[in-house]
Amino acid sequence: MTLQALIFDVDGTLADTERAGHRIAFNAAFAEAGLPWRWDEALYDELLQVTGGKERIRHYLADADRWFLARPDAPDVIAGLHASKTGHYLRLLASGGVRLLPGVEALVREAHRGGLRLAIATTTTPANVTALLDSTLGEEARSWFEVIGAGDVVPAKKPAPDIYRWVVDRLGLEPQQCLAVEDSGVGLAAAVAAGVPTVVVPSAHAVADDFSAAVARYPDLTAVTVGVLRDLHARAVPPTVLASPV
C-alpha cells in the first residue's frame, strides 16, 4: 500500500502562529475590550494544552476570573472576543508578520507537483487557514489542499480524533493511506486515535510532550522530502493492512 495523502496540522506545524500570531491577537482583543487580561509566552504555552480559541478563553477564566465566567452573557462576550481576536490575527497575517516554518514550503510544493493529495486537520478557523495560505504560499495554494477540516466542523476538538476522521472520510481514503504531520502531543493523540500514522515536528511549547506513538520525529522539515515520507509510511503500514481476505 502506498501513501496517498498528507494531512497537515496548521498552528505550530505550518507556521509559528501560536506565540507570534494568536497570542498577540488574543492580547489585542482583550485590550480593545478594556479587559486587564494579558497572556505572556509562559502562560500561553500552558493554555495551548486546550484546543480551540473560545475553549482556551473559558479555561483561562475558570482560574483567573471566575466571576466574569459566571456572567449570564459570558458565552456571547467570549464569542465576541474570539471574533475580535480573529480579526487582529488576519491583519497580522496580511502584514507578513507570520512566516512558514523551515522546510514547509518546499515539502508542500513537492507534494503538490508530484500529485500527492494534500489536506488540513486543525482546530483553528477556516478564515485563519486560508489567510495563512494566501500570505505565505499565494492564493493558488488554497486549491492544493483538497480537504480543509477546520474550526467547528466537528463538535469535539483535538485530542479527540473527530477532525481527522472527518478529513479522511472526505478524502475517500482509509486512515492508513494517509500520513499526518503534527507539532504537539495533543495533535498526535488525535491523529493516532483516528488510525493515521503521524510524523511530529515539535513546536517550542510541546517539546516535552509524549511523542512515542509517532512514526518519526524531526526538529523541522528542512531535510524531509516526499520520498522520506513515503519510506516512513511504507515501514509504518504493512502492505497487507488493506488486503482483502482470501
Cα–Cα distance, 159 to 186 (Å, whole number):
5
Cα–Cα distance, 222 to 230 (Å, whole number):
16
Cis check: omega of the bond before 219, within 30 degrees of 0: no
Give me the catalytic one of 9, 16, 162, 183. 9
Cα–Cα distance, 189 to 78 (Å, whole number):
27
The answer to whether residue 9 is catalytic is: yes
Strands 145-149 and 178-182, bridge-based pairing:
unpaired
3-class secondary-structure state, position 66: helix
3-class secondary-structure state, position 146: strand
Paired strand residues for 15: 11, 100
Cα–Cα distance, 96 to 91 (Å, whole number):
9
Cell numbers for 84: 475580535
Cα–Cα distance, 177 to 233 (Å, whole number):
9
The answer to whether residue 11 is catalytic is: yes
CB 183 within 8 A of CB 202: yes
CB 78 within 8 A of CB 58: yes
Paired strand residues for 5: 117, 178
Catalytic residues: 9, 11
